[in-house]
Amino acid sequence: MSGEIWTEKYAPKHSKEVIAQELAIRRIKDFIENYDEQEDKALLLIGLTGTGKTCTVHAIAREMNLELIELNASDKRNASQIKEIVGSASKQKSLFGKKKLILIDEIDGISGMEDRGGIGELIKIIKESSVPIILTANDPWDPKLRSLRNYVSIVEFKKIGVRDIVRLLSMICEREGIEIDRESLIEIANMSRGDLRSAINDLQMLCMNKKKIKHKDLEVLSYRERERNIFEALGMVFKTSDAKTALRAFDNVDKEIDELILWIAENITKEYEKPEEIAKAYDYISRADVFLGRINRWQYHRFIVYANALMTAGVAISKKQMYRKFTSYKSPSKISSMFRSKEIRSVKKQILFEIAKNTHTSTSAASKFYLPYIKFIFKNNRKIAEIFKNQFNLSREEIEFLKY
C-alpha cells in the first residue's frame, strides 16, 4: 500500500468530483462570480464533518483560477490575527494578478481567551471586504456565532448517503488493487455516519499491508463506537498482537498525540519483560518521536499517521506473545507530563503570538522559522536571551519553556 494518505490522494481536484453537493456548489460559484451584486458579502458553509465543505472550496478555487487565502483551525483566530491576515487580504490586490477568495475554516472552533474579539473583527472585515469570503462550520447555531449569522448567507452541505460513500470506496479499492466484498463496504459506510473522510480513513487502515479484506477484519472498527479512558487504550496496545486493533486504540481518547507517546513509553517496561521486546518497543517509540519532531518543526501534519502507527501498532507487535498478567499502568513522570500538558501548550502559543506580533508574520511561520532558534539562544547565550526576554516581555513560565 502506498504511503500516501488516501483522503489527500482522492480529494476532488474539480467541483464535478465532489459527491452529492451539487446545489451547494452552484451557490458557491454564483456567489463568487456575482460577488459585487451580492447583498451578503460572505458565505457560511454548514454541515457535518467529512461532507466536503473545505475540499469543495479548494476544488472551486483551483478550477476558477483563484488565489485562495486560508485561515484554518490550527491558526490563532483572535481579533489581531484576523485583522492582520484576513483584513489585509480583503483589501489588497493579488500579487499574481488573480482574483482572490478567502476561506476561514471551522469558524465555530473560535473560543476562549485566544480568540477574544475574533468574531467582531470578522464582521467588520466582511462589511468592508472587496473579496469573497467563505466560512465553514460544523455547528452554525453555536451561541457565539449568533451575531455573525446576520452578515452571511448560509449554504448547507448534506449528509452523504451510504450509496455514494460505497461508490467512492469501490473506486478507491479498484485503483489500489484491493479485494473486498460489497457488504463490507456498506458496513464501513454505515459506521462513518455520513462522514466520507472517516470512511476513507477506515478503509485505508483496514488495507494496511494487505490486498484482500475479509468481513471479520471490520471488527476493529467497532472500537470507535465507544469512548475509552487512557488505561483501557493502553491495554489495547499492550494486550494485543494485532496491529489493526492497536492502531485504533487512542481514537476516542481525549489526549494529544505528543502526550500519548509519553504514556506508552512510560509503561513499556511495566508490561514487557524480555529485553529484546523492550528494546524493539522503544525503537518504534523513538521512530514515532522523530515524526512528531518533524511535525512540530515543519508543520507536516500528514506525518501524524506514521507517528501513530509506530507508537501503537509498532509497540504492540514488539512482543512475541501476550502477557496474561494484570498490569497497573501509571501516568508519565511529572516533568515530562508537565511539559506536554495543555498548560505548556498554552505557554507555547502565547510565545508564538508574541514572536509573530514582533516579526510581523503568522504564528505558523513563527513556529517554523523563529522558535527553534530562539530556544537555542536561551540555552546557549544568556546575553541575547536577556534581550529577547525584555523585547517580548516574557513571563517566568515562558522563559522556562524556552530553556527546556
The answer to whether the CB of 399 falls within 8 A of the CB of 112 is: no
* CA 385 – CA 402 distance, rounded (Å): 10
Average confidence score pLDDT of the chain: 79
The pLDDT score that the predictor gives to residue 2 is 46
Q: Across 8-12, 77-81, 102-106, 218-222, which has the greatest mean pLDDT?
A: 8-12
> Which long-range contacts link 29-32 to residues 24+ away (Cβ below 8 Å)?
29/60, 29/64, 31/132, 31/134, 31/153, 32/60, 32/64, 32/66, 32/101, 32/132
Task: Say which residues have a Cβ less than 8 Å from residue 289's Cβ, sequence separation at least 6.
Answer: 261, 307
Residue with cell 470507535: 224
Tell me: the pLDDT tens digits for 154-169? 898 988 989 999 999 9
| Least confident window among 50-54, 190-194, 256-260, 383-387 | 383-387
The pLDDT score that the predictor gives to residue 228 is 47
Joined grid coordinates for residue 330: 501509571
CA 281, chain centre distance (Å): 26
The pLDDT score that the predictor gives to residue 227 is 39
Task: Say which residues have a Cβ less than 8 Å from residue 2's Cβ, sequence separation at least 6.
Answer: 9, 176
Share of the chain above pLDDT 90, in %: 22
- HEC per residue, 171-207: HHHHHHCCECCHHHHHHHHHHHCCCHHHHHHHHHHHC
* CA 359 – CA 365 distance, rounded (Å): 10
Tell me: the pLDDT tens digits for 261-317? 988 999 999 999 999 999 999 999 999 999 888 877 777 777 888 899 999 999 999
Q: Across 12-16, 122-126, 139-143, 192-196, which has the greatest mean pLDDT?
A: 12-16
* CA 241 – CA 312 distance, rounded (Å): 11
CA distances, 155 to each of 24, 152, 178, 262, 280 (Å) = 6, 9, 36, 42, 51
The pLDDT score that the predictor gives to residue 98 is 74
The radius of gyration of the chain from alpha carbons, rounded to an integer in Å, stands at 24
The pLDDT score that the predictor gives to residue 69 is 83
CA distances, 11 to each of 14, 59, 251 (Å) = 9, 9, 23
What is the pTM (predicted TM-score) of this model? 0.54
Task: Determine how many CB atoms are found less than 10 A away from the CB of residue 374.
Answer: 17
Residue with cell 490550527: 74
Per-residue pLDDT at 114 exceeds 50: no
The pLDDT score that the predictor gives to residue 318 is 93
The answer to whether the CB of 11 falls within 8 A of the CB of 200 is: no
Indicate the pLDDT class of residue 343, thresholds 50, 70 and 90: low
